Structure 1
Amino acid sequence: MLSIILRRLALSVPLLVVVSAITSLLESFVPGDPARTVLGVNATKEQYEALRASLHLDKPFAEQYWLYLRDILHGDFGASLFSGESVTGTIGQRLPVTLALVIGATALSALVGVLFGVYSATRGRFSRRVIDVVSLLGGALPNFWLALMLVSLFAVRFPVFPATGYTPFAQSPGQWAAGLVLPVIALSIGGVAMISKVTRDAMLSTLSLDYIRTLRASGVRPASIVWKHALRGCGLPVATAVGLSAIAFIPGSIFVENVFTLPGLGTTVTDATNQHDLPVVQGVAVTFTVLVIAVNLLVDVVYSLLNPKVRVA
């Protein structure tokens, strides 16, 4: 298993380089001048040129990117062009909010999706059609629209949960959990749809295998066959679906955080993009990439636990 982890980590290094390069290139195409945005229209030409030089904006793109990589290797993501705060410090403050949202949505979609999938596979054709319809709707409806509908229903019409804002866990665990209910539900709907359908299809295939028939003929209880034997046989496709959902939740959190005004990385990168705050944009992009790599690595570990053949591959 250690060799799998080391190999995946080695393959992730080029991915980080490519993502940071693409982010820098796309940000350079955004209309506007970061130096002019920071200083405003009343700054003198000398002030403008000095700021451009300090930000390396007067150098070619390749040289700018090389200087950025050099700073990253020294553990320095730079500072915000507007607040002057360290990008590393900003990410450290905002990351727990995004992690709580993504982890909560992943856990909820995995639990509900597996339950729906197993129920659909064992209860007949009508429930399978219901799952198909739910999967279609869940995959088609954008999560920011779902977020607005949830706010309208459960925060405005029926004020059960707060519509916006975030309470730190250390300040009040109850308010922290209540503030994440609607964002987590809005983010997890698409994952529930995909995981339930994958689980349903995998369960139907597994329940038709010979060893399942042998267990039935041996008098093993149906519940034990479904939850202990058949579900374990569905582990690989279900783990893949959960991993893909978690990866989709990372960029999806940008829209949900903006709807609920959560102080996470999603709102941070949105504000930084509007302000041409390139160091913050690059730092958040690298952080999102690291999260994707971590999810893929975790899925690989689960694979090796479910199927020992993967450890040899």
Structure 2
Amino acid sequence: MIRLLLWRLALAVPLLVIVSLLTFLLIAVAPGDPAATVLGNSITDERLAEVRAQLGLDQPLLVQYWNWVSSAFQGDLGKSLLTSQPVMATIGQRIGVTMSLVVFALIVSTVGGLLIGMVGALRGGWVSRLLEWVAVVASAVPPFWLGFLLVTWFAIQAPLFPATGYITPAHSIQGWLHSLVLPVATLVAAPMMGIAKQTKDSMQESLAKDFVAALRADGMSERRIIWRHVLRNAAIPIVTLVGVFFIAMLGGTVFAETVFSLPGLGSLVVSSAQTGDFPVIQGVVVVLCLGVVIVNFLVEIAYGWLNPKARTT
């Protein structure tokens, strides 16, 4: 198990390097000049050349990338071109909003998906077929469209929740939870039904195996068979799917935070792209990539715990 985890950690390093390099190159060839963004309306050829030299933009791309990577390993992701605030500080101010949104959405979708899937697997028949159709429909619903519908229904027509804004937990726990209800609901539809379908399929497959019949023949209670054996045996693909949906939710926060005006990383990327604040964009991408690596690492731990065969691979 330890060897497997060390191997996964070793693979994470080149992944971060590749993502950061590709992001750096894409930003480098994107329209716009960071030096012009810094100068604003007071652009002259002399000032433009001076600022480009200060930012290191007059150096070759690989040299620029190496300088950025060297600083990044020391915890310095550069400074915002517009505010001159350190990128790490800007991300630190907003990452709590994004993580609150994603973690709550993941908990709701996982718990709800497991319960719905278990009902579908144990009941079968029309319940199972209905679950199949609902999962297909939920996966086809665009998050931004669902967000607008939720705002129309539950913030305008029936003002139960705020349409926009975010309240920090330090200010009010109730207000914090209240401000997250609609954004979380926007993110959970497809993941919840996807997890429900996977749970149903995996449990039905496990219930049809010989070991379940043997446990029933030994007189073990149905509840114990379900919770201790069937669900754990079915959990392996579910854990993998939960990790995939967590990563997808990180991308989905761009829509949710934009629709509901939440000050998170998703809205930060959108505003930075609009203003050409390239250091902030690159910093957010690298931090999100690091989050993906951490999630994959946790999935590997859970997978190894559930499946002893994986520990020897």
Q: Deviations over 1:101-137 (max 9, x none)?
A: 1111111111011111111111122111211111111
Give CA-to-partner distance per residue, 1:284-310, whole Å, 9 cap, x none.
011000110111011111112212232
Aligned to 1:244: 244
Counterpart position of 2:124: 124
User: What does residue 5 of structure 1 align with?
Assistant: 5
Q: Please identify, of 40-49 and 273-282, the stretch whose mean Cα deviation from structure 2 is larger.
A: 40-49
Other-structure match for 2:37: 37
Which piece of structure 1 moves more, 60-69 or 9-18?
Answer: 60-69
d(CA) in 2 for partners of 1:14 and 1:263?
Answer: 31
Shift of 1:152: 1.0
- Give the Cα separation in 2 of the matches to 1:232 and 1:156: 43
Aligned to 2:96: 96
Contact conserved, 2:37 with 2:277, CA < 8 A, in 1?
no
Give the Å deviation of 1:181: 1.0
Q: Distance in 1 between matches of 2:32 and 2:181?
A: 38
Q: Which deviates the most, 210-219 or 11-20? A: 210-219
- Unmatched 5+ residue regions in structure 1? none
Q: Quick one: distance in 2 between partners of 1:304 and 1:124?
A: 30
Alignment of 1:31-70 (within 5 A): 31-70=31-70
User: Which residue is 1:215 aligned to?
Assistant: 215
Q: Residues of 1 paired with 2:223 and 2:281: CA distance? A: 50
Deviates more, 1:23-32 or 1:36-45: 36-45
- Name the counterpart of 2:257: 257
SS of the aligned residue for 1:134 comes to: helix
Q: Once superposed, what is the RMSD of the aligned Cα atoms?
A: 1.4
Q: Using the TM superposition, give the Cα deviation of residue 236 of structure 1 relative to its aligned residue in structure 2, in angstroms.
A: 0.4
CA deviation map 1:27-80 (0-9, x unaligned): 123222222233223322221111111112222322221221121122211110
The corresponding residue for 2:287 is 287
Q: Show the 5 A alignment for 1:1-313.
A: 1-313=1-313
Local SS of the residue matching 1:234: helix
Contact 2:97–2:262 (Cα < 8 Å) also in 1: yes
The CA distance in 2 between the partners of 1:159 and 1:219, in whole Å, is: 54
CA-CA distance at 1:143 after TM superposition:
1.0
- TM-score when normalising by structure 2: 0.96
Which residue type is aligned with residue 183 of structure 1?
P
Q: Tell me, what secondary structure is at the counterpart of 1:159?
A: coil
Task: Kindly indicate whether the alpha-carbon contact (under 8 Å) linking 1:257 and 1:266 is maintained by their aligned counterparts in 2.
Answer: yes
Shift of 1:215: 2.2
| Structure-2 separation of matches of 1:312 and 1:117 | 31
In structure 1, give the amino acid aligned to 2:168. Answer: P
**Aligned counterparts of 1:190 and 1:51: Cα–Cα separation in 2:** 47
- Opposite residue 154 of structure 2, the aligned amino acid is F
Once the two structures are superposed, residues 76-114 of structure 1 have per-residue CA deviations (whole angstroms, 9 ceiling, x without a partner) of 111100001011111111111111111111111110111
What stretches of structure 1 move > 6 A for 4+ residues in a row? none
Question: How much has 1:16 moved relative to structure 2?
Answer: 0.7
8 A contact 2:37–2:82 mirrored in 1: no
Shift of 1:3: 3.0
SS in 2 for 1:85: coil
- Gaps of at least 5 residues in structure 2 are none
> 8 Å contact 1:269–1:280 — kept in the other structure?
yes
Contact 1:27 1:276 in 2 (8 A): no
In structure 2, C-alpha distance between the alignment counterparts of 1:8 and 1:92, rounded to whole Å:
27
**Which moves more between the two structures, 246-255 or 59-68?**
59-68
- What letter is aligned with 2:89? G
Q: Would you say the 8 A contact 1:34–1:275 is kept in 2?
A: no
